[in-house]
Amino acid sequence: MAVAQLAKKNDIKRILYFIPEVIPDIEEIKQPTYDVFFTAASDKMMSLGTRDYLRIDIPVEYDSVNVDMLREFCKNNDADVAVVPRVKYFKVGLGKYVFSNQVEVSLKLFDAEGNLMLETSYDTFKAGGRMLGSAANSVKIGTKGALQNMNKELQNNQIFFIKST
């Protein structure tokens, strides 16, 4: 179902969110990143009037999405779309674990058939020039910004998140 076909339905009722791929691949930052990402996504979805979304605690590699797996999850959970996220921390300095609080949150939106509908991202440094604040706050701002960008793109195609009944 392409964007045009989903536009004919004119709504997205149930959304699956996979856990974000975290770059750099450092185990200590993954769980805190997941927690902040899903809290921010939940807050943003509720502000858009969408309460019917599911968190899938399965890692999906952002650049090589397993479409068959995605399609199966959508089918089994009666979902209209699936979001595959990535949170990329910017590395600064010379040390192995030295990275800044700046992040880029990227999202890919797939329909239930596994077709890529759109891709968007939000870079906290480029968007607002954030130099201060915590990494957790940057993930929160980046997640909400990326979801807002995705929502604008969907609205441009007359597709809307609707309240679940």
**CB-facing half-sphere around the CA of 106: CA atoms within 13 A:** 14
Which CATH number fits the domain 3-154, given the four candidates 3.90.1520, 2.40.50, 3.30.1310, 3.40.50?
3.40.50
Give per-residue pLDDT as tens, 132-142.
678 888 899 99
Residue 98 — pLDDT band, cuts 50, 70, 90? Answer: low
Delimit the domains of the chain by residue range.
3-154
Q: Averaged over 95-99, what is the pLDDT?
A: 60
How many residues appear in the chain? 165
> Which of residues 165 and 96 earns the better pLDDT score?
96
Q: pTM of this prediction? A: 0.84
Q: Is 148 exposed, middle or buried (0-12, 13-18, 19+ CB in 10 A)?
A: middle
Give per-residue pLDDT as tens, 28-54.
889 999 999 999 999 988 887 776 889
Max Cα–Cα distance, the chain, nearest Å? 52
Q: What pairs with residue 104 in β-bridges?
A: 88, 123
Backbone angles phi, psi at 86, to 5 degrees: -140, 135
